[in-house]
Amino acid sequence: MDRRQFIKKSTLLSIGGLLIPSTFLSACRKETLFEDINYDGKVIIIGAGAAGLYAAYILKSKGIDCQILEASTNYGGRLAKLTGFANFPIDLGAQWLHGKNNILGDLIKKSKTKITLDDSKLKYWFNNQLVNSLPQNTDIFEGDELPDISYQDYALQKGLGNEYKYIVENIAGDQGAAASRLSVFGNNLDEENWNSGDDDFKFQETFFDLIDTQIASQITDKILLNTIITKIDYSQSEIIITDSNNNIFNANKVIITVPITVLKSGDIQFIPALANEKTTAFSKIGMDAGMKVFLKFSNKFFDQNIIGGEICAAYADESIGKIQNDNILLAFIMGEQAEYLTTLGSDAAITAALLQELDRMYNGQASTSFIASHVQNWTTNPFVKGAYSYSTVGMGDARKIATQSVSKKLYFAGEAMNTNGHHQTVHGAIETGYREVINILNDIKK
């Protein structure tokens, strides 16, 4: 799961005691922004994932009245923790820190959170065999003048035939996408913008714990759970927000951090309706199906990473980086493979399909040593509906348009709204929460 190739340096600076991603300094008039804030309006944040939690954390620390309205029973969004399944805690959502040159790297240092470099070894399932390396170079998706076509088409163009299909699915799957939908041009541009560092790290505890202890725990009084927002009426000077039980909330500014799938689905009605240009931009941002399945075995018959399965293109030893070592294999399933497994309809059927594939790879050892599974299907979570955003073919500057605020009342954050190449990540989501607080403060001061 080595997602990032480009290494650029970024630094963290502190403004008024808060850690700020350097990416936004040019936009934020750093000396004056947080001074003399005298705002008695109310900011409501929709969604208590990383972006929403961080936005509330900054607003609260600056004495601005704010509240998070969260649809589900827990905060964290695509960060969630599973205990009791293995003898170590498991991240059901985000689990790798993709590079340390970002605000989370700093939080980790400050909080003395233990992380380990993930340099685990890869094996490929290729032509019905497990092999250490591939005959052809698959490193073809980066460079200059790449076309705006799909990974699937480009691979074929470059001579990676059908035998590479699931190797290519794995490469696209790291971006949360089906190879038939991820843009070679768009993703390459995203990678060029990436400046968090190219190493992946795992948490000895969990990613969820970091966000919980360092951010969420400071603002629990601001989070209202079980509150599914269905309508945002910004036609008057005060914004009226309605939930599924017809409860009404009033605000002067709203930061919307729900996943792009939720915005695309129309689950939240805007009054007046958002401009066509904006909804078209939403529709161009990709976000495919995604699930994680944790398989527990009585012995470790499997390799650290197995790439290229037809049912699951990426398996990984979940115990890497943990103190305890229960034999847990993670099936990391994205795109069309996640769509297919979702159609099977039950956790038992999904588990059976994966065990069958692993039996083929390891001569029946999976079934004989299988103990239990835990299926986390993010696609069927009604408030997430998929994995994370990616750049589709023909997307153009949709992300920039999607992100623009509306009438100085609606502000858009969340990983899909990150325009600096850090979408798909927790730190990227956090950066957008911060950016929209800055945008609000700028609008207030104008």
Ligand X SMILES: Cc1cc2nc3c(=O)[nH]c(=O)nc-3n(C[C@H](O)[C@H](O)[C@H](O)COP(=O)(O)OP(=O)(O)OC[C@H]3O[C@@H](n4cnc5c(N)ncnc54)[C@H](O)[C@@H]3O)c2cc1C
Binding site for ligand X (CB under 6 A): 46-52, 69-72, 77-79, 93-96, 98, 228-229, 257-259, 262, 267-268, 290, 292, 378, 383-384, 387-388, 414-415, 424-426, 429
The least CB distance from residue 184 to ligand X, in Å, is 22
Closest CA to 4 of 432, 398, 422: 422
Closest CA to 406 of 276, 302, 258, 310: 276
Paired tokens of 356: 């069958």
Query: Is the Cβ–Cβ distance between 261 and 388 less than 8 Å?
Result: no
The least CB distance from residue 265 to ligand X, in Å, is 9
Beta carbon nearer to ligand X, 81 or 360: 81
Beta carbon nearer to ligand X, 66 or 160: 66
**CA–CA gap between residue 174 and residue 168 (Å, rounded):** 10
The least CB distance from residue 74 to ligand X, in Å, is 8
Query: Is the Cβ–Cβ distance between 201 and 320 less than 8 Å?
Result: no
Query: Is the Cβ–Cβ distance between 386 and 289 less than 8 Å?
Result: yes
The least CB distance from residue 295 to ligand X, in Å, is 15
The radius of gyration computed from the CA coordinates of the chain, to the nearest angstrom, equals: 22
The least CB distance from residue 389 to ligand X, in Å, is 8
Cα 437 to chain centroid, rounded: 20
First CA to last CA across the chain, in angstroms?
Answer: 44
Beta carbon nearer to ligand X, 164 or 332: 332
Beta carbon nearer to ligand X, 160 or 331: 331
According to DSSP, the β-strands at 115-117 and 290-297 are unpaired
Beta carbon nearer to ligand X, 182 or 384: 384
The least CB distance from residue 362 to ligand X, in Å, is 24
Beta carbon nearer to ligand X, 52 or 321: 52
Beta carbon nearer to ligand X, 140 or 438: 438
The least CB distance from residue 438 to ligand X, in Å, is 17
**CA–CA gap between residue 169 and residue 331 (Å, rounded):** 14
**CA–CA gap between residue 97 and residue 115 (Å, rounded):** 9
The least CB distance from residue 445 to ligand X, in Å, is 26
Closest CA to 21 of 158, 183, 195: 195
Beta carbon nearer to ligand X, 78 or 253: 78
**CA–CA gap between residue 275 and residue 218 (Å, rounded):** 36
Beta carbon nearer to ligand X, 140 or 333: 333
Contacts of 317 (CB under 8 A, 6+ apart): 120, 300, 302, 303, 304, 305, 328, 329, 330
The least CB distance from residue 365 to ligand X, in Å, is 26
Q: Measure Cα distances from 199 to 91, 116, 335 in Å.
A: 19, 10, 24
The least CB distance from residue 54 to ligand X, in Å, is 8
Transcribe 80-99 into DSSP letters. Answer: -EE-SSSSS-EESS--EEE-
Name the 3-class secondary structure at 241: strand
Beta carbon nearer to ligand X, 46 or 178: 46
**CA–CA gap between residue 320 and residue 385 (Å, rounded):** 28
Closest CA to 243 of 67, 440, 378: 67
Beta carbon nearer to ligand X, 228 or 444: 228
What torsion, rounded to 10 degrees, do the Cα atoms 422, 423, 425, 427 define? 50
The least CB distance from residue 268 to ligand X, in Å, is 5
The least CB distance from residue 194 to ligand X, in Å, is 12
Beta carbon nearer to ligand X, 90 or 353: 90
**CA–CA gap between residue 397 and residue 417 (Å, rounded):** 11
